[in-house]
Structure 1
């Protein structure tokens, strides 16, 4: 299973369109918030199954703050990250992932890509397609679940 991962798109639909041309084909998309309406855009424009969450800029969104998604025998915690104060470290986020027995946690908020394993948990932030930080360009992610493993990569537009 191949999964496109976006976050912090902030309504910049033309960057989503560019990323979709690069990431396809995928089986589904994860959107880690800011702006959750962009997840709706991907679903409608590209006819993909999309799992999204609300971020700190998603006032009035109907999307949940986090989701635990089971795919191909793996549990992925999807959240924006602001409720876990990810700009100050990943301890709270990692504790939540461990509480849920998640194999991976996908988040955003910092606009900085992260692709790290802590023990047996993948900590994955695709960065931002709209407003990159940390000296990177516009980035998104790809997760591939196969052979009972999750492979992860960050891609730059």
Structure 2
């Protein structure tokens, strides 16, 4: 299962489309908030399945701020992250992941990419696809869940790469 990961588009639908184009063949897109209307519009326009959560800037959205999903035999926590104070630390998010027995945590909010494993849990923030912080470029991510359960994850620079379709 090949998952495209996008966050923090903040009103710019065109960059979501560009990111999806650069991802190559994907099975599903996860959107980690702040631009949920962008995600909904692009999903309809391109006819692709997109699972999205609301962020702190998605004021009129009725979507929840977190979703727990099972895909590729992995439990995924999708959240924007603002309710877990991810700009300052990740301990609240880690304990939530442990509580629900998540294998993968996808979050946004910081506009800075993160991709690491902590005690068996993949923490993945694709960064912002429009407004990066911390001298980072505009980024998106891909998580691939192999049939044998192995997971690889990578963050890509929107402006510099064309992703292969491993």
TM more than 0.5: yes
- Taking the aligned partners of 2:14 and 2:46, their CA distance within structure 1 comes to 13
The RMSD of aligned alpha carbons is: 0.8
Q: Kindly state the Cα deviation for residue 24 of structure 1 after the two structures are TM-superposed.
A: 2.3
- Taking the aligned partners of 2:149 and 2:135, their CA distance within structure 1 comes to 33
Question: Could you say which residue in structure 2 is the equivalent of 1:128?
Answer: 128
Question: Could you say which residue in structure 2 is the equivalent of 1:105?
Answer: 105
Task: Give unmatched runs, 5+ long, in structure 1.
Answer: none
Query: Superposed, which structure 2 residues align to 1:7-46 within 5 Å?
Result: 7-46=7-46
Q: Kindly state the Cα deviation for residue 42 of structure 1 after the two structures are TM-superposed.
A: 2.4
Question: Could you say which residue in structure 1 is the equivalent of 2:157?
Answer: 156
Q: 39-48 or 2-11: which moved more?
A: 39-48
Q: Is the 8 A contact 2:31 2:52 kept in 1?
A: yes
How many residues were matched structurally? 157
Question: Could you say which residue in structure 2 is the equivalent of 1:81?
Answer: 81
Q: Deviations over 1:31-83 (max 9, x none)?
A: 00001112212211211111100000011201111000100110010000000
Q: Is the 8 A contact 2:16 2:39 kept in 1?
A: no
Q: Deviations over 1:76-111 (max 9, x none)?
A: 100000000001110000100010000010000000
